[in-house]
């Protein structure tokens, strides 16, 4: 059995920006402390929700370094270092390793895409050139690529490929993946509205957008599942289902960043091409935040 990087709810951290569109490191440090103080089980930095795709190389490296330093070993830190450029994914991963990250989040190659055989070749190539455990990231809605259960099985044979963040929404495929891979591949839900079903199948937690605005709730949903109290896990999941959905009312991370701004955090706007929420969606999100006691 491979080591598990974390259990529970890991937050897919938002990246705050200043008015002149630079990474706002003082606010990022406060956000990291807020997350840890409110029961978040891991920090995932520079991934999709953190707008890793629009961080330049220097920003990406510095933000990973800063996060590891700010966390100070209190919880695991996982860095988003995936790319459709295999060589660049290795380069970013090696930079992250210098700072002592606990895991590397590796998205499937987007735009140029590949075959299932190409996925096996890509991820094994990267895994052979790092010393840090890898969490695969399967999100077909963004990449146009889907990792099949049989491909997961082949990848799980590599000692450094230890987990996946599964966001393809296919529960039947999830069951097959778990049946094939067993303890050689830890499963994390990549969708906040599916934490409870994933926990039923033995997932170890979630990599969560919800955690940005409601870290205690996301932690508690996952914790109930880990305790085996699946009824309580499902009940909490359903209680927060509207918020999970409204955080994706437009393209992530736009709603989550606007939610934190409403809650008083100096987040700045998302980098283009992401646009601010429409007014109608902003009001809907505001009402949901009020319902859950996150806004007055």
291 is catalytic: no
Backbone angles phi, psi at 269, to 5 degrees: -100, 165
Q: Which residue has the tokens 């007014």?
A: 279
| CA distance linking residue 202 with residue 269, whole number of Å | 37
110 is catalytic: no
Structure tokens at 34: 């807020």
| CA distance linking residue 244 with residue 160, whole number of Å | 31
Q: Please answer whether residues 83 and 53 qualify as being in contact, where contact means their C-beta atoms are separated by less than 8 angstroms.
A: no
Q: Annotated catalytic residue: which of 34, 88, 125, 137?
A: 137
Q: Annotated catalytic residue: which of 152, 165, 224, 257?
A: 165
| CA distance linking residue 107 with residue 100, whole number of Å | 20
Within 10 A of 51 (CB to CB), how many other CB atoms are there?
A: 22
Please give the helix or strand (H or E) that residue 107 lies within, else none: strand 103-107
Q: Please answer whether residues 160 and 134 qualify as being in contact, where contact means their C-beta atoms are separated by less than 8 angstroms.
A: yes
Structure tokens at 84: 């459709």
Catalytic residue list:
137, 165
């Amino acid at each position: 059995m491979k080591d598990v990087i974390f259990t529970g709810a890991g937050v897919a951290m938002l990246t705050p920006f200043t008015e002149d569109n630079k990474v706002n490191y003082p606010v990022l440090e406060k956000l990291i402390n807020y997350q840890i103080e409110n029961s978040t089980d891991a920090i995932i930095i520079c991934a999709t929700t953190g707008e890793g795709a629009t961080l330049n190389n220097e920003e990406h490296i510095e933000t990973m370094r800063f996060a590891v330093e700010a966390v100070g070993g209190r919880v695991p830190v996982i860095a988003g270092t995936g790319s459709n450029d295999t060589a660049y994914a290795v380069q970013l991963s090696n930079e992250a390793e210098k700072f002592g990250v606990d895991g590397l989040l590796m998205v499937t190659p987007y735009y140029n895409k590949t075959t299932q055989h190409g996925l096996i070749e890509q991820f094994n190539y990267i895994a052979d050139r790092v010393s840090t455990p890898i969490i695969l990231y399967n999100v077909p809605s963004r990449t146009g690529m889907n990792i099949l259960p049989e491909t997961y099985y082949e990848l799980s044979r590599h000692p450094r490929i230890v987990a996946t963040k599964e966001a393809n929404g296919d529960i039947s495929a999830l069951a097959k993946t778990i049946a094939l891979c067993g303890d050689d591949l830890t499963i994390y839900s990549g969708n906040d509205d599916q934490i409870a079903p994933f926990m039923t199948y033995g997932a170890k937690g979630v990599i969560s957008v919800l955690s940005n605005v409601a870290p205690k709730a996301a932690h508690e949903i996952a914790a109930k599942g880990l305790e085996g109290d699946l009824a309580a896990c499902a009940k909490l999941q359903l209680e927060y289902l509207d918020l999970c959905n409204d955080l994706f009312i437009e393209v992530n991370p736009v709603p989550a960043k606007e939610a934190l701004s409403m809650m008083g955090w100096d987040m700045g706007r998302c980098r283009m091409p992401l646009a601010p929420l429409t007014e109608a969606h902003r009001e809907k999100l505001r009402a949901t935040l009020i319902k859950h006691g996150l806004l007055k």
